[in-house]
Chains A and B, each alone.
Chain A
Amino acid sequence: MSQPVFWALVGMALVTLGLYALIVHAHLLRKVLALNIISSGVFLVFIGLARRAPEAGAALPMEPDPVPQAMVLTGIVVAVAATGLALALIVRLRAVTGRTTLGDDTDD
């Protein structure tokens, strides 16, 4: 197994783990954490599989490619912003309803 494929598989494992946690846990904080693990997995796949365009990659297959690193950096910023927004909404929900789960929408 080549090194890029190994990291890509680890990334996919993280995505699967996160997806499982997102579905089974009701607590919203856990859901946000699960989404963060999914995004870490996706970033790992992105970085792990990164290489230059095929013609350049043939010469130096293991040369790190800066473009996906720049993209993942942007992706991390987006993920942080998303986490912040989600946390703010959850804090507000707890202040209004005293609960930290989505629960049933019909009770109000």
Chain B
Amino acid sequence: MPSFPGGMEWTLASVFVPLTGALLCFLLPRRAPLLGRLTALLTVAAVLGLLLTVLAEGTQQTALGGWPAPLGILWRADGLSVALMAMTALVGLGVSVYAHAYFRDKHTEGAFFWPLWLMLWTALDALFLSRDLFNLYVTLELVGFAAASLTALDGSAAALRGAIRYLLISMLGSLSYLLGVALIYHACGSVDIVLVAERIGTAPDLVVAVALGTMTAGLVLKTALFPLHFWLPPAHGSAPAPVSAVLSALVVKASFYLLLRLWLEVFDGGGPWLAEFLGVLGAVAVVWGSVAALRQARLKLLMAYSTVAQIGYFFMAFPLAAVGGGAVWAGALYLVLAHGLAKAAMFLSVGSVLRFARHDRIDELDRIVHRLPLTLTAFALAGVSIMGLPPSGGFIGKWLMLEAAFRQGRYGFVAVILLGGVLAAAYVFRVVGHAFTPTARAQRAREVPAAMEWSALLLALAAILLGLLPPLVLPLLEIGQVAVVSGVAAPAGSG
């Protein structure tokens, strides 16, 4: 006798609660801030319920409308999905609390923010749960539409340009992915990931290779891997703070997650040449993104280029995992989770600085540390995770990848991983340093609501705490995963 509410109810709730909330916020714009925060709380509860169910009972499967796999749509919540949904929920809660304070005196923007943001949350949860290649296409497009609309939120020319460029790129990426889906349907006669994985062995090699190529290219474009990252800094740099946080922390992770799923479950590790190619691009992204971040004059663009660099780390896992297997994927996923929490915290604190000083020019930060101590603490703590220092989530991820690179004798990757950490330290300290230095002319400051400071700080603390929890998180990632090899040694469990 399954318990009620069980896996199915939690699964459905984690998508339909934010969907309902989004519609209500759209219909009742005056009540949107209250409804939005309430929805965020309920969604977090639903995801927590699903997380606990998966931890206790393993993978949860839900056939929508009771239709079985070949025709119907299956939602499957395994450890990987639930880990990403939990990260989304944490960031989502932080962003919702922050956004309430942020949009308090900007009613029009606020009225548009809530429905779009909750719709984005819905689409992300649906994407993490879907196991049907076509359904994944639809959720990918929903994520793209919501994200593009959010980018355009403040209506300035820069925001509109960023949003249009982002929308065009996002559509091109999704169509490239859909072309791969068409080829896979031709070869395998199904779009269900499990059925496709069974049949792909007998499919013609050429069709599978082309499908792998188009799907990977589309998703890499959407994840903004160097040199396809050109659209990311203008979009992430021109959006309002809560939106930048969501775009950097969650939206790029969605397409990376999908790519990972495909490589692990459908294409069985992909092609060795393609993996090597992605790894090299990732290494270039780490160095190039970090150097570009160092050279930015504006704080938000610095953060955006830092995201480009961090995305590089995720892709360095592809060639390393071809030999190193599960431990490397676990490391990359750890980095994904840690980066999500840390980058959200950083963009939120940058938003507070922007509100406080009315600008985000790094050279003119004028002793912000005395006046916004909580915000600067949040920024620095999140920076610890981005640099990959212990005891943070970023450290565990980098450590797992570094260990694999050493074992395989890939010293080029070792050097890049270490150099990326040093460069990250350089750009974080550049900001922190200016925050201690008074500028020539004193600046008139504006109050920052406590909710904005605390939500960023709590997210940064979560990124640090993640570094103390590998004994909890690593087994979770393995639930329902065939490819992620069990028995990953928890490195430096207590930091």
Contacts and interface: CB of A to CB of B under 8 A. Distances in A.
Interface in B159-193: 160-165, 167-168, 171-172, 175, 178-179, 181-183, 185-186, 188-191
A82 B182 contact: no
Contact of B164 (A22, A56, A86): A86
A35 B134 CA distance: 19
Contacts of A93: 157, 160-161, 164
Q: What is the predominant secondary structure among interface residues of chain B facing chain A?
A: helix
B149 interface: yes
A96 B163 CA distance: 14
B308 interface: no
A54 B183 CA distance: 14
Contacts of A2: none
Q: What is the predominant secondary structure among interface residues of chain A facing chain B?
A: helix
A42 B165 contact: no
A81 B123 CA distance: 15
Nearest to A104: B161
A108 B164 contact: no
A51 B182 CA distance: 11
Interface in B269-297: none
Contacts of B181: 46
Contacts of A3: none
Contacts of B155: 92, 96
A86 B182 contact: no
Interface residues of A, number: 40
B168 A45 contact: no
Contact of A45 (B141, B158, B183, B190): B183
B164 A102 contact: yes
B178 A86 contact: no
Given A51-B189, A52-B189, A85-B145, A35 B183 contact: no
Contacts of A50: 185-186
B46 interface: no
A57 interface: yes
A42 B175 contact: yes
Interface of B: 71, 134, 137-138, 141, 145, 148-149, 152, 155-158, 160-165, 167-168, 171-172, 175, 178-179, 181-183, 185-186, 188-191, 199, 202, 234
8 contacts: A46-B181, A49-B186, A82-B167, A82-B171, A89-B164, A90-B164, A92-B152, A108-B158
Given A81-B141, A86-B164, 6 more contacts: A35-B172, A51-B189, A56-B189, A71-B134, A78-B141, A92-B160
